[in-house]
Structure 1
Amino acid sequence: MSYRADVMDSAALLPIDIQSNKLTDWLVSRRICDRHWLRDAAEVRRRIAQLAASDSLGQEGVSAELQAALRQPQIHYWHCDRIAEALKKLDSANKSFLFGYSSAVIRELDAIITRRGSCYVADASRLLTKLVQEEAPLLKRQSERTRRRQAECERRKGELAASGAEARAKFAALCRQFGLASAADSDSSGGQQLPLARVRAELIAQAEALPNWFDGACMEAVRGLADALRLYAEFLRQTGGAPESPLCPTLGYLLASGNTTQYEFALGRPPARVEPFRMALPAEFDCPAAGDAAGDGDSTAGDDSGGIDFGDDIDFSAVDEAAGIDFSGIEIADSEDQLGAATADAGEGLEGDGVARGEQARSVLDTLDLRERLLDDLHELDAFYSRLGQELADHSNCVSQAVLSASSAVGEIAAAEPGSRARALIGQLTEPSRQHLMLTRSSPAYLSRLLQRFSSLRDQADKAAAASKLLEQRRRESEDEERDLEQQLAALRAQIKELKKLIESEISQRCDNRRVNIMGEVNAV
């Protein structure tokens, strides 16, 4: 008998280990709880909900804090017990010897927290399992989702910053290519207010200043080719290859008469009066993003009242399409053909009153088809002098040397190097930005298309900046949401820990005060 008693005493010292996901089944199998505990627990919860919704709580002066505790969705037996104890302390003066407390709320709570059937233990274990297997994982997933959202916002912000910086750099490079003072403003503006209206004004000012360049630096370069044309003609005359028609007629006309008007070029006599040519300007809002007509560069790009999904709804294909500042979207050749045809047609209807107006008032160099003829003459000179230089360098070609030695102009040609001057003038006339400015003088639509290139880059930078602000706002909202979720998770962990201890204590009382350990997921929350 003593041996058996010793064994039983030793067994009483062993702890009871219960897996949290099998806690309810364990309680029923050990007959701690009745098999119909779920039905009894549902009835108890119905009575709790009925009590929480009744007017008796307010009539008996139950505090708002206790009312909120009674209405919480995850209420259990020990909550009701604490609420009843708190109400009993407040209502102790109204307690009678025979009938107990006079408060109907206290009497109802006493009926609710009865230990009959021990359904409250099984209900608490069910609640513990729900908190561990459903509520805690849900909060963790939501918290992880907010962290991923923050990382996605940071990634998208980096991409937008790179896209915006690239667009601003291209805008500044485009301004510098045209020699616009707005380039400095665009470098310092940070992509917030790129001065599109100033760009428009400066482009128009540069286009209107082209006649001064034609009459100044360009004509000076043309006059520097006088000896080249003379030596060319002299060489052909001495070698017997001089054509009957004039050599390089447009270049010869400029050298002889200067940069005259179309009227004088066509009729051979100067006009009695010249009405200055005025550029035809496009409407102020021809440019899609010319909404900042006041010149302050304000932009509302990206100001959308709707939400964003990490900026995924923003189309940045335009940023990639503008990868180079080569004006591929502006077809210079087609514009020159059309404008040249228009210029030729303008020469046929010259005014007979001796007044040069409209297209007739434009200078030779300011006319597209005449400028093309000049370029043909310059290419002819360049080709001649390039070929001549090769012949002079080819000492093995006896026939060429014999022909060249017959010309007295060979020495002058070799010393003057006129081909480089012709190539330099060709480069000045065909410089891309200057070509675009020349075309803007003849076509308002072309100026609008040119401004669209600036506008697209400005809009890309503004969209990137606006989207970046929205992403930063979303990131901050995600941080706030993560903090709230972490606080909820911390409170849930404390609730799980408390409920676990209460259940362990209750089971221990029913199992001869043996130590009880609820194990498994409950300890990994």
Structure 2
Amino acid sequence: MNDSDIPIDIHTNKLLDWLISRRHCQKDYQKSLDLIRSKIKLAIVDMPQIDEVEDLLRKNVFDYYVCQRVLDILKKTDRSSKNIFGQYTSKRFQDWQEILKLYEKDNIYLAEDGQQLIRLVNYEVPSLKRLQSKYEQQIEEMERSILTQQKQSKNFLNEYNANCKKLRIEGESDDIRKELFDQLDQLPKRIDEIVKKISGLKPVFDYYQTFLQFILPSSIECLPILRYLLVNGNTSFFEFKHRRKPDSIEEFHLGAFIQQQSCQKNADDILDDDQIDFGDFSIECQTIGEKDPNKIESIEIDWNNCAESTMKSSIETESNVARGEEALGLLLNTEIHNRFLNELIEIEHFLLSRIAEMGSYYAIESFLFESAPTIIQMTTVDDLEKILSTVKEFRSEFESPSIKALYYMKNSPKYVENLYHKLNHFKELSKKALKKANDLERKRLNLIQNHSDIGPQIENLIDRTKSIQKRIEEAISKKYNNRIVNIMGGVQVL
């Protein structure tokens, strides 16, 4: 095999060292390159205004082969500047001709191509690929964050809707506070609907009352509120308080009343002046000794006015009109409401105790209650469990979350504010999470755009790397009688 048949293999990282060691380039090639680039900067100032030249200027990549292309263009544009010997006399042509000669001296163009190849293979293309991978990772993280924020927004919104559902409000308007106050007007109606089922507690009331009278004959009257409700229903508080029915009941809007109290409380909190104005009591006092004892003035009493005042007071006291909070149902009174709940709890515990006693000591129970009333003897454990279930069902309906919230709102305007802030907090958190998700989505789209822009850049750099590597291989091959030259670790690794 001839030496000409043996390929020349050169590793990319060793390319410049190989060129210098084979005396194709000088060690100080960088100084010559700097000189050439400074001359190129001066030469591009004076260029013909044609599209091809402007395209080269926009790319702003000037190497040996681009300079050759510029010189070819100038041969066409500066054709008129030839002298009688066929030489170009224009300065810009001579400048570019000088640049090419500097490139060809000591194979500076070959060293520049080798330098560019190493930079592209080791730095530029890998850095863009790393940036591309970084964008891909950021896009994945952004997508996970977006899903997390959307999920949080949905959870907060579900929590908000669940609380609104418990309170039986829509929660779609901007004024949630007004919806809460409007819901208060539904409380009397809802209580009346529950009280309609109170007849189901009649058996347990009779059983409990009979049991207490049998065990404690001298016991006081039991379950007074339940007794009243079973006999009279949910009457107005006026009727319960005064033990007589009112001639008329004035309409009373509970929601508007509580809202007015809330506004008044907020206004009182804003006031900074806590001083009390006692008025102007500039009364002139005269002692008895200052007057003549013999000239004591007589004081006349107007009995007609007294009679009129007494009559007005009597009429106001004996007024038979239910107004204000007395016009509301009995169970809307806080004290009565709490007493009634205590009675229901008392019944529950009693029934639980009776069921436990009858289940454990039935023989002893039978002996002790031989003389008990029929209702006690005939009631079995199964009957008590059914009654207990009825009591629990009634109590759970009476203490549902929405009913309890309405009672809290009725008793404390501040609770309405706390409830409003809690609901509004869920709503704001949902909006905030959704806004963050939208912001992240915009960032994700920007990252996708940046990622898509990098792809063509990498392809262009790889194509440029192929072109430079091929030029180097061809240039070296010419110097070695067209032997095959292989640049190893070049574009192949990209």
TM-score bracket, shorter-length normalisation: 0.7 to 0.9
Task: Give 1:32 deviation, angstroms.
Answer: 0.8
Matched, 1:126 2:126: no
Q: Which runs of 5+ in 1 are unaligned?
A: 1-6, 183-193, 287-350
Letter in 1 for 2:3: A
How far apart, in 2, do the equivalents of 1:133 and 1:164 lie? 46
Task: Give 1:209 deviation, angstroms.
Answer: 1.0
Letter in 2 for 1:222: I
Matched, 1:406 2:382: no
Which residue of the partner structure matches residue 154 of structure 1? 143
Residue deviations 1:381-407 (CA, integer Å, cap 9, x gap): 233333334444456442663235432
Residue deviations 1:37-76 (CA, integer Å, cap 9, x gap): 1111110011111223x3x22xxx3335424524655421
Matched, 1:234 2:226: no
Measured at CA, do residues 443 and 380 of structure 1 come closer, stay the same or move farther in structure 2, by a change above 3 Å?
same
Counterparts of 1:51-450 in structure 2, within 5 Å, are: 51-52=43-44, 54=45, 56-57=46-47, 61-63=48-50, 65-70=52-57, 72=59, 74-98=61-85, 100-114=87-101, 115-180=104-169, 182=170, 195-197=172-174, 203-215=180-192, 217-243=193-219, 245-269=220-244, 274-275=249-250, 276-279=252-255, 280-281=258-259, 354=319, 357-394=323-360, 396-398=362-364, 401-403=367-369, 405-411=371-377, 413-414=379-380, 418-450=387-419
How far apart, in 1, do the equivalents of 2:329 and 2:16 lie? 101
Matched, 1:38 2:30: yes
Task: Give 1:274 deviation, angstroms.
Answer: 4.7
Provide the secondary structure at the position in 2 that maps to 1:75. Answer: coil
Which residue of the partner structure matches residue 275 of structure 2? none
Provide the secondary structure at the position in 1 that maps to 2:486. Answer: strand
Residue deviations 1:115-160 (CA, integer Å, cap 9, x gap): 2222222122112211221111111111111111221122223323
Matched, 1:500 2:476: no
Paired residues of 2:82 and 2:89 also in contact (CA < 8 A): yes
Matched, 1:476 2:442: no
Paired residues of 2:167 and 2:401 also in contact (CA < 8 A): no
Task: Give 1:352 deviation, angstroms.
Answer: 5.2
Task: Give 1:85 deviation, angstroms.
Answer: 0.9
Task: Give 1:271 deviation, angstroms.
Answer: 5.7
Letter in 2 for 1:441: K
Matched, 1:13 2:5: yes
Task: Give 1:522 deviation, angstroms.
Answer: 3.5
How far apart, in 2, do the equivalents of 1:440 and 1:132 lie? 74
How far apart, in 1, do the equivalents of 2:210 and 2:368 lie? 17
Q: Which runs of 5+ in 2 are unaligned?
A: 267-315
Between Structure 1 and Structure 2, the one with more helix by share is 2
How far apart, in 2, do the equivalents of 1:263 and 1:11 lie? 124
Provide the secondary structure at the position in 1 that maps to 2:330. Answer: coil
Most deviating of 387-396 and 119-128: 387-396
Provide the secondary structure at the position in 2 that maps to 1:35. Answer: coil
Most deviating of 156-165 and 480-489: 156-165
Task: Give 1:200 deviation, angstroms.
Answer: 5.4
Provide the secondary structure at the position in 1 that maps to 2:329. Answer: coil
Measured at CA, do residues 242 and 474 of structure 1 come closer, stay the same or move farther in structure 2, by a change above 3 Å?
same
TM-score scaled by length of structure 2: 0.78
Residue deviations 1:301-330 (CA, integer Å, cap 9, x gap): xxxxxxxxxxxxxxxxxxxxxxxxxxxxxx
RMSD over aligned CA atoms reads 3.0
List structure 1 segments (4+ residues) > 6 angstroms apart after TM superposition: none
Which residue of the partner structure matches residue 303 of structure 2? none
Residue deviations 1:427-480 (CA, integer Å, cap 9, x gap): 112222221122223333322332344334433443343333333332222222
Q: 1:490 aligns with which of 454, 459, 469?
A: 459
Task: Give 1:110 deviation, angstroms.
Answer: 0.6
Q: 2:479 aligns with which of 510, 517, 522?
A: 510
Task: Give 1:102 deviation, angstroms.
Answer: 4.2
How far apart, in 1, do the equivalents of 2:61 and 2:376 lie? 108
Most deviating of 407-416 and 429-438: 407-416
How far apart, in 2, do the equivalents of 1:161 and 1:252 lie? 55
How far apart, in 1, do the equivalents of 2:484 and 2:388 lie? 107
- In our comparison, the structure showing a higher alpha carbon Rg is 2
Most deviating of 86-95 and 40-49: 86-95
How far apart, in 1, do the equivalents of 2:485 and 2:40 lie? 29
Paired residues of 2:370 and 2:377 also in contact (CA < 8 A): no
Paired residues of 1:14 and 1:514 also in contact (CA < 8 A): yes
TM-score scaled by length of structure 1: 0.73
How far apart, in 1, do the equivalents of 2:215 and 2:232 lie? 28
Which residue of the partner structure matches residue 302 of structure 1? none
Letter in 1 for 2:225: T
Letter in 2 for 1:433: S
Paired residues of 1:49 and 1:71 also in contact (CA < 8 A): no
Paired residues of 2:167 and 2:405 also in contact (CA < 8 A): no
Paired residues of 1:265 and 1:364 also in contact (CA < 8 A): yes
Provide the secondary structure at the position in 2 that maps to 1:131. Answer: helix
Paired residues of 1:77 and 1:120 also in contact (CA < 8 A): yes
Task: Give 1:489 deviation, angstroms.
Answer: 0.7
Provide the secondary structure at the position in 1 that maps to 2:374. Answer: coil
How far apart, in 1, do the equivalents of 2:108 and 2:361 lie? 118
Paired residues of 2:113 and 2:468 also in contact (CA < 8 A): yes
Residue deviations 1:223-264 (CA, integer Å, cap 9, x gap): 443443334323322334441x32112223333444344444
Paired residues of 1:81 and 1:113 also in contact (CA < 8 A): yes
Task: Give 1:356 deviation, angstroms.
Answer: 5.1
Which residue of the partner structure matches residue 345 of structure 1? none
Measured at CA, do residues 20 and 390 of structure 1 come closer, stay the same or move farther in structure 2, by a change above 3 Å?
closer
Matched, 1:465 2:434: yes
Task: Give 1:88 deviation, angstroms.
Answer: 1.5
Provide the secondary structure at the position in 2 that maps to 1:518. Answer: strand
Measured at CA, do residues 464 and 171 of structure 1 come closer, stay the same or move farther in structure 2, by a change above 3 Å?
same
Paired residues of 2:68 and 2:100 also in contact (CA < 8 A): yes
Measured at CA, do residues 222 and 71 of structure 1 come closer, stay the same or move farther in structure 2, by a change above 3 Å?
closer
How far apart, in 1, do the equivalents of 2:343 and 2:203 lie? 14
Letter in 1 for 2:458: L
How far apart, in 1, do the equivalents of 2:357 and 2:155 lie? 50
Provide the secondary structure at the position in 2 that maps to 1:113. Answer: helix
How many aligned positions are there?
A: 432
How far apart, in 2, do the equivalents of 1:266 and 1:120 lie? 112
